[in-house]
Chains A and B, each alone.
Chain A
Amino acid sequence: GQQLNQSPQSMFIQEGEDVSMNCTSSSIFNTWLWYKQDPGEGPVLLIALYKAGELTSNGRLTAQFGITRKDSFLNISASIPSDVGIYFCAGLRGSQGNLIFGKGTKLSVKP
């Protein structure tokens, strides 16, 4: 079945550093979404990408939809302690809108 390969699995960075994570797939997706999940809570949507090649920003976050529609990256600039959490990429599958999730990137930020 369709799978998303998300990397890195975890990151330990210093406050103020920039972060980059990415997702790749063997299949094409028409929509990529990036979510952040805090412990014990549901995922919160960060950025939605709808067009191949699209580059979208949301504050310190920037995400791009790969031109082949098989990959996407998320960058966080000037990280702060509240950026800590698990970041998931998700690709939209099928006409009913089923999401396929990556395995997540756990981000830890040292003050």
Chain B
Amino acid sequence: GAVVSQHPSRVICKSGTSVKIECRSLDFQATTMFWYRQFPKQSLMLMATSNEGSKATYEQGVEKDKFLINHASLTLSTLTVTSAHPEDSSFYICSARDEAVGETQYFGPGTRLLVL
């Protein structure tokens, strides 16, 4: 199947700092990528839909100024957690849609964020 990578795989930062997470589709182009957050023992919750060349669409309750999304190319979307706080600690996972094979989404390996 298609491959999606994320970087970094884990990050520890101090409260108040900003963290950027990259999501790349390695062998296909994706006009649409998605960002999810997963708390321990819970399911994935969609945060936002990242659209190449346009603004991201955020789910209700997700602050767009806190979670900045940039989808500058067909293979790269970034999520920046600004002024991170301990409650932002979570597992962040991106996915990309391979439109050549329909609606199937392929997920990255996730980024574990710990805010101290």
Contact = CB atoms under 8 A, between A and B. Distances in A.
Interface string B44-57: 11100101000001
B71 to A, nearest CB: 13
B87 interface: no
B103 A31 contact: yes
A98 B104 CA distance: 11
A42 interface: yes
A96 B49 contact: yes
A14 B89 CA distance: 36
A88 B46 contact: no
B49 A42 contact: no
A91 to B, nearest CB: 11
Nearest to A106: B41
A48 to B, nearest CB: 5
Contacts of A40: 91, 110, 112
Contacts of A31: 102-103
Nearest to B59: A98
A28 interface: no
Most chain-B CB neighbours within 10 Å: which of A30, A41, A100?
Answer: A41
Nearest to B9: A40
Most chain-A CB neighbours within 10 Å: which of B4, B95, B105?
Answer: B105
B43 A42 contact: no
A33 B1 CA distance: 14
Interface string A39-60: 0111111001010000000000
B103 A45 contact: no
Give the top 4 A-B pairs by smallest Cβ distance, nearest first: A42-B107, A101-B43, A42-B110, A42-B109
5 contacts: A44-B107, A97-B49, A101-B44, A102-B43, A103-B43
Interface of A: 30-31, 33, 35, 40-45, 48, 50, 88, 92, 96-104
